[in-house]
Amino acid sequence: MSPEAIIDGLFAGSVYALVALALAIVFQPTRIMNFAQGEALILGAAVSYQIVALLKMNWALALVVTIAVAALMGVLMERMIMLPVRISGSRYAWIIATLAAALIFQSLFNLGYVDVDALRPDPVIAGGFEIAGVSVEWQELLTIVVALAVMAGYDVFLRRSTYGRAIRATAHSSDTSVLMGIPVQRIIVLSFVIAAVITAVAGLLAAPVIFIAPAVGLTFTIKGFTAAVIGGVGSPRGALIGGMIVGLLDTVVRSVVGGTVGNFAVFAALAVILIVFPSGLFGKPMEAH
């Protein structure tokens, strides 16, 4: 096991942690696990690729456009998922709705980038440095720092802001929140928007380093979902720990053994953790509908 593999694992873990956090953000007020969440990551990669690699413009513009388009995507996702769920009344409608949304966005990305194998722009910060003989790319370090900052920022937002308290109240009981005058529908839309923006930023940061094709959104959703379950569904702190566990296990085991053994190690760890902690490391018992 090389030190570089650990750095790569922390980088991958940061990306998975941001996806897991986004899943937790949507899950808190809706009790829905959004299987289309990974498509927002593809959006971030696609926008950065379009602006930086094809149009040769700067990363600041790519970031602004990514946030704006991701916010629009979040609103659209909320309509595509929540409207069918409310109309159907089925406790399983969210599974079909989220997967349908994922496939729709995946088809759009495939049409837009039909001849593109990987959405890979130049890094935000090129090059790297060595510390104690270990090579670290600036792009990887930037992603790790941003992931930690987003986690900390959302935790503060959740605990100290008015909207954060409203999200927590809605997560506890949407019916009671309505009686208290909390605009539950607005909170749900806001959750989808925040989740889409966070995931898109993760895609923007990850695209210069790892392979992101137009059709791999569900792959990142599965890894983020695994991280969320390991950490505890609905727990932002659990999303960080779960993401790091998934990233490190996957990357380190692949570097030592090779092949697809990394996936086996991740799911084996998931099984063991759920046996010992049925609700995940930081989760509370709850049921999705």
285, part of any domain: no
Q: From the CB of residue 131, how many other CB atoms can be counted at a distance below 10 Å?
A: 10
284, part of any domain: no
Residue 1 pLDDT grade (very low, low, confident, very high; cuts 50, 70, 90): low
On average, the pLDDT of the chain sits at: 89
289, part of any domain: no
263, part of any domain: yes
pLDDT of residue 285: 60
Place of tokens 């959703």: 221
Share of the chain above pLDDT 70, in %: 97
Count of domains observed in the chain: 1
Per-residue pLDDT tens over the stretch 230-259: 998 877 788 999 999 999 998 888 888 776
Residue 288 pLDDT grade (very low, low, confident, very high; cuts 50, 70, 90): very low
287, part of any domain: no
288, part of any domain: no
Look up the CATH number of the domain holding residue 95: 1.10.3470
Whole-model pTM: value is 0.92
271, part of any domain: yes
Does the pLDDT at position 267 exceed 70? yes
Cβ contact 268:245 at 8 Å: no
Name the residue among 29, 20, 39, 63 with its Cα closest to residue 189.
Answer: 29
Per-residue pLDDT tens over the stretch 45-94: 999 999 999 999 999 999 999 999 999 999 999 999 999 998 988 888 99
189, part of any domain: yes
**Between residues 103 and 233, the one the model is more confident about:** 103
pLDDT of residue 25: 92
Range of the domain at 87: 3-276
**Between residues 233 and 198, the one the model is more confident about:** 198
pLDDT of residue 165: 86
pLDDT of residue 130: 86
Which residues, 6 or more positions from 15, have their beta carbon under 8 angstroms from its beta carbon? 41, 143, 147, 202, 205, 206, 210, 220, 243, 247
Which residues, 6 or more positions from 216, have their beta carbon under 8 angstroms from its beta carbon? 38, 42
Q: How far apart are CA 54 and CA 250, in angstroms?
A: 32
